Structure 1
């Protein structure tokens, strides 16, 4: 799937990995699943620090794959084969899980680190959506900064029944813990500020109710 020029560029980028990375694949059968596994194996062939592991249980969406450090909980997941604009999101996720630093302003990073609750994001995208890339990369970076955050990027073209069930008409559309969180473009600073505001409001409500 990767042409010679792209393989060469990718190999250069992957030299920035500092620690081992695992890509855990949950196959669903069919051409989409085959293409996903083929692409991930091609990426892994370019560096000894990336390993592809196939698992057949545990994921509600198939095909999908997660990216993690060995033995750690995965915060980044794709229910998609990230081609086109989203290929850069995949590469960046591998690099950052592999120890390449997250580039964001210090205030935003500290806001994300202070979050104390668990957040599960479902980000619906189209592979042709240019504005989806910023949102996917922002949420993925947040998972690297704070392990209590998880983001799964979902290709609406593959999981059309979910798109219909949730009446999604705009991409990206973000759900957080099962509830709508936002639509359209957003930076890591904007998303982090919104999430911090939600958590601070929740903390205040719990204190008012006499709960920790």
Structure 2
């Protein structure tokens, strides 16, 4: 799937990995599963620090795969084969899970680091959507900063029944803990500020109740 030029560039990027990364794949019987597995195996062939593991039990959304540190619970999952603009999101997630530093606004990083509640994001995208990339990368960065945050990126073209059931008409569309969180492009700083405000409001409500 990866041409010679892309493999060469990718091999250079993967030298920034500092710790082992596991790509855990959950397959179904459809034609997209072999495509996903082939892409991930090609990436793993370029470095000894990335390992592909085929999951037997599996995630509810298949095909999908997680990106995590070896032996740790992963915070990033793709229910998609991230090609096109989202290929950069896949590469960046592997690098950051592998120890490459998150480079972003320092205040936002510290706000994310201090969050104390659990946040589960579902981000619905289209693989041709340019504005989806910023949102996917921002949420994935947050999972690296704070292990209480999880994000799954879902290709709406693969999971059309779910898109229909939720009446999704805009990408990206973000759900947090099962509730609609946002639609359209958002930056790391904007999403971080919203999460910080939500957590501060929850803390204030708990203090008032006690």
- The normalised TM-score by structure 2 is 0.99
Residue aligning to 2:128: 128
Partners of 2:107 and 2:173 in 1: how far apart? 26
User: 1:93 aligns to what SS in structure 2?
Assistant: helix
Q: For 1:75-154, what aligned pairs fall within 5 Å after superposition? A: 75-154=75-154
Which aligned pairs between 1:162-181 and structure 2 lie closer than 5 A?
162-181=162-181
Q: How far apart are the structure 2 equivalents of 1:35 and 1:152?
A: 19
Counterpart position of 1:42: 42
Report the counterpart of residue 196 of structure 1 in structure 2. Answer: 196
What is the CA–CA distance in structure 2 between the aligned matches of 1:52 and 1:124, rounded to whole Å?
Answer: 24
Q: List runs of 5+ in structure 1 lacking aligned partners.
A: none
Cα deviation code 1:89-132 (max 9, x no counterpart): 00000000000000112101000011000000000000000000
Structure 1 position 58, deviation (Å): 3.9
Does the 8 Å CA contact 2:66/2:75 hold for their aligned counterparts? yes
How many residues are paired up? 210
CA distance, structure 1, for counterparts of residue 57 and residue 171 of structure 2: 29
Distance in structure 2 (CA, Å) of the matches to 1:58 and 1:130: 30
Unaligned runs of 5+ in 2: none
CA apart distance, 1:31: 1.1
Secondary structure, counterpart of 2:62 in structure 1: coil
Per-residue Cα deviation, 1:164-189 (whole angstroms, up to 9, x for no partner): 00000000000000000000001111
Once residues 71 and 52 of structure 1 are traced to their aligned partners in structure 2, the CA distance between those partners, rounded to angstroms, is 13
- Are 2:22 and 2:50, in contact at CA under 8 Å, matched by a contact in 1? yes
